[in-house]
Amino acid sequence: MARILIVGATSAIAIASARLFAARGDDLVLAARNEERLGSLAADLRVRGAGAVDTVSFMAQPQQDYQGFAGRVWDQGLDCLLLAHGSLRSQDRCQDDVTASRREFEVNALSTICLLAAFAGRFAEQGAGNMVVISSVAGDRGRQSNYLYGSAKAAVSTYCQGLRNRMHSSGVRVITIKPGFVDTPMTAGFEKGLLWTQPEQIASGILRALERGSDVVYLPWFWRYIMLVIRLIPERWFKRLSL
Amino acid sequence: MRSWGGLPEHPQRSRSLNWRDELAECWDEPTLAVGAGRSYGDCGLAASGEVLCTTGMNRMLQFDQNSGVLRCEAGVSLGDILRHTVPAGWILPVLPGTQYVTVAGAIANDVHGKNHHGFGTFGRHVKSLLLQRSDRELIECSAGNRSEWFSASIAGLGLTGVILQAELQLKPVAGAWLQCDTVRFRELAEFFALSEESDQNYEYTVAWIDCLHARSRGIFSRAWHIEDARPAPLREPRFRVPFTPPLSPVNRFTLRAFNSLYYHRQRLRGHPDTIPLGDWFFPLDSIGSWNRLYGSRGFRQYQCVVPAPVVRDLLAIIRRSAQGSFLAVLKTFGDLQSPGLMSFPRPGVTLALDFPWRGSATLELFAQLDAVVGSNDGAIYPAKDAHMQGADFRRAYPAWETVERLRDPRLKSLLWQRVTEDS
**Chain A interface includes B297 (CB < 8 A):** no
pLDDT band at B10 (very low <50, low <70, confident <90, very high): confident
ipTM of the complex: 0.90
Q: What is the mean pLDDT of residues B391-412?
A: 97
Output the CA angle B206-B104-B114, nearest 5 degrees. 10
Number of CB atoms found within 10 A of residue B135's CB? 10
| Residue to test with chain A: of B16, B17, B59, B130, most A Cβ within 10 A | B59
Whole-structure pTM value: 0.93
- The alpha carbon of residue A187 is apart from the nearest alpha carbon of chain B, in Å, by 11
Taking alpha carbons only, the member of B90, B85, B93, B21 closest to residue B57 is B21
| Residue to test with chain B: of A47, A182, A184, most B Cβ within 10 A | A47
In angstroms, the CA A129 to CA A141 distance is 30
pLDDT at B371: 97
pLDDT band at B268 (very low <50, low <70, confident <90, very high): low
Q: What is the mean pLDDT of residues B158-185?
A: 96
Mean pLDDT taken over chain B: 92
- Beta bridge partners of residue B411, listed in sequence order: B31
Pairing, β B32-34 against β B162-169: unpaired
Catalytic residue among A149, A159, A218, A225: A149
Identify the helix (H) or strand (E) that includes residue A44.
helix A35-47
Residue B303 has pLDDT above 60, yes or no: yes
Identify the helix (H) or strand (E) that includes residue A14.
helix A12-24
* Interchain CB distance below 8 Å, B19 and A10: yes
Cis peptide before A220 (omega within 30 of 0): yes
Residues of chain B with C-beta less than 8 angstroms from the C-beta of A36: 19, 21
Output the CA angle B253-B258-B260, nearest 5 degrees. 100
pLDDT at A190: 81
Angstrom CA distances, B318 to A56, B5, B210, B305, B356, stand at: 62, 19, 11, 16, 13
Pairing, β B239-240 against β B287-288: parallel
In angstroms, the CA A81 to CA A83 distance is 6
- What percentage of chain B exceeds 90 in pLDDT? 75
| Residue ranges for chain A with pLDDT beneath 70 | none
pLDDT tens figures, B318-327: 988 888 777 7
pLDDT band at B295 (very low <50, low <70, confident <90, very high): confident
pLDDT at B267: 57
Residue B238 has pLDDT above 90, yes or no: no
**Chain B interface includes A194 (CB < 8 A):** no
Cβ-Cβ contacts under 8 Å for B401 (sequence gap 6 or more): none
* Interior/surface letters A146-163, b for 16+ CB within 10 angstroms, e for the rest: bebbbbbbbbbbebbeeb
Measure CB to CB from residue B21 to each of A36, A49, A188 and give the nearest one.
A36
Cβ-Cβ contacts under 8 Å for B67 (sequence gap 6 or more): none
Q: What is the mean pLDDT of residues B174-192?
A: 93
**Chain A interface includes B73 (CB < 8 A):** yes
pLDDT band at B266 (very low <50, low <70, confident <90, very high): low
pLDDT at B269: 47
Helix, strand, or coil (residue B164) = strand
Measure CB to CB from residue B84 to each of A10, A40, A47 and give the nearest one.
A47
- Sorted by where each begins, the domain ranges of chain B are 177-387
Q: Which fold has domain B177-387?
A: Alpha-Beta Plaits (3.30.70)
User: Which of B16-20, B71-75, B249-253, B270-274 is the least confident region?
Assistant: B270-274
**Chain A interface includes B56 (CB < 8 A):** yes
pLDDT band at B107 (very low <50, low <70, confident <90, very high): very high
Taking alpha carbons only, the member of B358, B365, B293, B378 closest to residue B327 is B293
Measure CB to CB from residue A40 to each of B15, B16, B59 and give the nearest one.
B59
Residue A160 phi/psi, 5-degree rounding, is: -65, -40
- Please tell me which residue, A144 or B212, carries the higher pLDDT value: A144
**Chain B interface includes A47 (CB < 8 A):** yes
pLDDT at B297: 84
- Which homologous superfamily does the CATH classification assign to the domain defined by A3-238? NAD(P)-binding Rossmann-like Domain (3.40.50.720)
pLDDT band at B350 (very low <50, low <70, confident <90, very high): very high
Residue A111 phi/psi, 5-degree rounding, is: -65, -35
Max Cα separation, chain A?
55
**Chain B interface includes A49 (CB < 8 A):** yes
Max Cα separation, chain B?
60
Inter-chain contacts counted by CB atoms under 8 A, chains A and B:
35
In angstroms, the CA B203 to CA A99 distance is 65
Cβ-Cβ contacts under 8 Å for A45 (sequence gap 6 or more): A18, A19, A21, A22, A28, A30, A53
Number of CB atoms found within 10 A of residue B259's CB? 22
Active site residue A149: yes
CA Rg value for chain A: 17
